[in-house]
Structure 1
């Protein structure tokens, strides 16, 4: 860990900002190293990036904690000296230490951790304000707000596309298909329209067009695994359920798939930078003014990560 004994808080935060900026340059270089269409390499790069970001976050949290601990120790020494000056002549330092109960030490430790957490939240909010994820999210929020909508968070578990569509179907049509049903319909449509989709799919390792056998295996994965869905699955799903789907993204105009179908369209959002391991889909819901707590805590994922780090100490 970096020696921070001669640093004050502002100098440490400045150092952290520089290291995050350097990290972004390294991340961009890693992303460029993955050839277009090489899904295996792209996944490896994404995993490496996630590890680098986690390690940097952990080290920053530890350094900030170390600095806070030093400040707390200096304060405790000053308080002890003041107490010594005001105590009776017969008192000795050992008696002062005995007066601090275990319960008080636990309360002090808890208070210190809470102060560290609050400081980390403030620092993280400053660091993320110009990050790709935050910039993208704010742009999407702005587009949605103009339509009196807001983001409905969907878990990042491989099923985000189907979960986002399912949430919209419940809201728009009051119908409940479920993820398994939507995956099955998508797979069946892809199998029944092989000539429309096979020319656009390549094998992730060889980068050559899929064979018929590989395509059929791919369709089985769509139906029976948590394989992430992209544009191909989205188009097939729109046709399978005969419903127009609008995809809102930060860069470029919204994409509407299945415009030929009548009825109310459903809306989902596409995020390139929301998670370290790849793209993500969210759903939408009617707009509500965010609470003060939501405005302050702008990055729950980072905060949870920080809490895990501090709990392990």
Structure 2
């Protein structure tokens, strides 16, 4: 082991050499490997400090401090198929080269710590990769909204927001029918508050579907009577089937603008009067509950 002066000189050189290695490793680290490299460097510094303390204690005739007793997971940890010179696998290689026992001899590898360090580095790399991938994805809400605004301007329409409560399709149709002067159903529409008029529209859609089962049963995944009851009495979302039923009930042409395209649902009426045209906006990404309809009125 030599004299105290020789040991101190050697310890100083070992610290200097390790600092140089640490600086080189950190300088060559990437975003994905930085956490693993930092962990590796900290472990190398800890091991050097521990070994030097053991050597000083042995030279002074003091009790040599014991290293942490961590179980060997040799049989549990799978080794990587292709070792690398840096990053996660580089950490394992350096741990194997620099681990020293109390008597200065190579100590059995601490595979538990190696495994934990590898797992932590891999997890951080995966998180970083997911963040980068998400950052490069277009914002669907922003894209959808921009396309809708272009269509509104081209067609001279302004949007009236409808509460996203499960009744939005029926509330939007109620607003549109009121704009073109079409009564919503039996009784006076004025007897209902504006935010309650959807109830008449729901009943109208349910009544038409129930009265024309051949037009709808092929598209249903449940008995017709159960479906009709949900449309009439609950907050079940409406869709294409309900729009078709409402177009025929009120003899209106329903134009739905959505994400850069327009869909038209016609009543197929043979009556003497041309159907009125009403406008809806359909969103898939801009509202927290999912799909949503707003009413579109003529710009003044």
More helix by share: 1
Structure with greater contact order relative to length (CA < 8 Å, sep ≥ 6): 1
Structure ID, larger Rg: 2
